[in-house]
């Protein structure tokens, strides 16, 4: 669950919130309702003469000086509640086995007790070679999160990079939310100069616009994860939490803004055009063909959150099966466009149709 507001700060309350952050997406439908990623409007061009053997297709990718076996990141999700230990344990085993990246959930809870720190650090124990990403909230930065605390979070998982997540929509709708974003950009700038690991800024499902991307690049961030709309809706999650809290204003806001955000394909295209730094596509990506489309649109890596959570919550076997299937789909798409590696896939031709073609 993206970082939440401070009060009430009791450990049990925080654990409960973190628990809800897993349980609600798993047991209720909080995916986009009427909007989509717009990836359905992207068509890769079939190559009837690929002139490669399927077996020769390989998915290695280099990103932020790290070698990945596939251009996939298990996007930032959880930690801070005992239930997260099992999920993070399985996700990190998959990250290590398949050579993927993995983001942890917002880590402030991990500073509260060693018991909670272990719900995150299990990932490093299981993935000694993995590219693991620490996570803090932009709103927490503006509220005065200290450099020393951030350093502790990084050390907790021996992180290879640090994500700052931007979640103004969630803060707006969360019953205990504090939508305070004044000064966040200058804090991001400060962090970029204070740490020597890469700083990645991500949304959590409402997308990054070209204007925001340019400001982030100027602030010195190493990469942007666009996390557009069309997948998990944090307005949806918080609307359901607001129902439990009987907060009618927040229920109304959550329903109205359920599908709010920049569709993933739109955000990816405009961010890719406007900045030079690497871009991670995420938000509603659900299979290997969609990963291939995002790479063709210019993404360096692709993140998926909910699909990995769903399979990790069932069993390690289910998670491995899903990962294998996704890799097969990606390699299948690469074969059919005649790309034997990710670099070639990034240069492959595509057409844009429907609503996406109308976007200026």
Ligand X SMILES: Cc1cc2nc3c(=O)[nH]c(=O)nc-3n(C[C@H](O)[C@H](O)[C@H](O)COP(=O)(O)O)c2cc1C
Question: Which spans of this chain sit near ligand X (rule: CB under 6 A)?
Answer: 1-2, 21-22, 25, 75-78, 105-106, 135, 163, 165, 202, 204-205, 227, 231-232, 282-285, 304-306, 309
Q: Please name the residues in contact with 176: beta carbons below 8 A apart, sequence gap of 6 or more.
A: 4, 5, 7, 8
Cα separation, 53 vs 342, in Å, equals 15
Q: Give the containing element (helix H, strand E) for 258.
A: none
Looking at beta carbons only, is 171 or 337 nearer to ligand X?
A: 171
Looking at beta carbons only, is 81 or 339 nearer to ligand X?
A: 81
Structure tokens at 216: 């982030």
Looking at beta carbons only, is 130 or 338 nearer to ligand X?
A: 130
- 3-state SS, residue 33: coil
Looking at beta carbons only, is 171 or 340 nearer to ligand X?
A: 171
- CA–CA–CA angle 11, 13, 17 (5° rounding): 115
Q: Going by DSSP bridges, is the β-strand pair 161-166/131-137 parallel, antiparallel, or unpaired?
A: parallel
What is the smallest separation between the CB atom of 203 and ligand X, expressed in angstroms?
7
Burial state string for 321-340 with b = 16 or more CB within 10 A and e = fewer than 16: ebbeebbebbbebbbbbbbb
Q: Please name the residues in contact with 314: beta carbons below 8 A apart, sequence gap of 6 or more.
A: none
Looking at beta carbons only, is 103 or 338 nearer to ligand X?
A: 103
What is the smallest separation between the CB atom of 59 and ligand X, expressed in angstroms?
19
Q: Give the containing element (helix H, strand E) for 227.
A: none
What is the smallest separation between the CB atom of 109 and ligand X, expressed in angstroms?
10
List phi, psi (to 5°) of 51.
Answer: 55, 30
* DSSP type of residue 95: H
Looking at beta carbons only, is 133 or 334 nearer to ligand X?
A: 133
What is the smallest separation between the CB atom of 49 and ligand X, expressed in angstroms?
34
Residue 194, classified by CB atoms within 10 Å of its CB into exposed (0-12), middle (13-18) or buried (19+), is exposed
Looking at beta carbons only, is 70 or 309 nearer to ligand X?
A: 309
What is the smallest separation between the CB atom of 102 and ligand X, expressed in angstroms?
11
Q: How many CB atoms within 10 Å of residue 12?
A: 8
The closest alpha carbon to 270, from 199, 181, 169, 356, belongs to: 356
Structure tokens at 47: 């190559």
What is the smallest separation between the CB atom of 284 and ligand X, expressed in angstroms?
5
Residue nearest to ligand X (CB): 231
What is the smallest separation between the CB atom of 338 and ligand X, expressed in angstroms?
28
Q: Please name the residues in contact with 41: beta carbons below 8 A apart, sequence gap of 6 or more.
A: 265, 352, 353, 354, 355, 356, 357
Cα separation, 356 vs 38, in Å, equals 6
What is the smallest separation between the CB atom of 237 and ligand X, expressed in angstroms?
8
Looking at beta carbons only, is 207 or 338 nearer to ligand X?
A: 207
What is the smallest separation between the CB atom of 345 and ligand X, expressed in angstroms?
20
Looking at beta carbons only, is 57 or 133 nearer to ligand X?
A: 133
């Amino acid at each position: 669950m993206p970082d939440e507001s401070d009060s009430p700060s009791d450990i049990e309350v925080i654990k409960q919130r973190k628990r809800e952050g897993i349980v609600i997406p798993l047991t209720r439908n909080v995916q986009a309702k009427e909007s989509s990623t717009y990836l359905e409007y992207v068509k890769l061009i079939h190559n009837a003469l690929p002139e490669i053997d399927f077996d020769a297709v390989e998915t290695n990718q280099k990103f932020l000086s790290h070698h990945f076996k596939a251009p996939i990141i298990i996007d930032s999700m959880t930690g801070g509640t005992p239930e997260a230990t099992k999920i993070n344990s399985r996700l990190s085993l998959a990250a290590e086995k398949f050579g993927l990246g993995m983001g942890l959930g917002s880590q402030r809870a991990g500073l509260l007790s060693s018991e909670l720190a272990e719900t995150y650090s299990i990932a490093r124990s299981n993935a000694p070679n993995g590219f693991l990403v620490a996570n803090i909230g932009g709103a927490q930065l503006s509220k005065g999160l200290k450099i020393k605390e951030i350093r502790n979070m990084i050390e907790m998982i021996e992180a290879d990079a640090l994500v700052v997540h931007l979640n103004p929509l969630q803060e707006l709708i969360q019953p205990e939310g504090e939508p305070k974003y004044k000064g966040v950009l200058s804090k991001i700038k400060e962090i970029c100069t204070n740490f020597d690991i890469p700083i990645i800024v991500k949304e959590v499902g409402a997308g990054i616009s070209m204007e925001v991307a340019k400001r982030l690049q100027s602030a010195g961030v190493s990469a942007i994860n666009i996390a557009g709309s069309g997948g998990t809706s944090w307005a949806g999650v918080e609307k359901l939490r607001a129902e439990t809290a009987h907060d009618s204003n927040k229920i109304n806001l959550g329903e109205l803004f359920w599908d709010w955000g920049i569709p993933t394909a739109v955000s990816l295209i405009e961010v890719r055009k406007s900045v030079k730094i690497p871009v991670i596509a995420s938000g509603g990506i659900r299979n290997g063909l969609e990963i291939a489309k995002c790479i063709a649109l210019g993404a360096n890596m692709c993140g998926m959150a909910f699909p990995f959570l769903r399979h990790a919550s069932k069993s390690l076997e289910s998670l491995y099966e899903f990962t294998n299937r996704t890799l097969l789909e990606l390699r299948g798409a690469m074969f059919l466009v005649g790309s034997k590696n990710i670099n070639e896939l990034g240069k492959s031709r595509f057409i844009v149709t429907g609503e996406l073609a109308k976007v200026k």
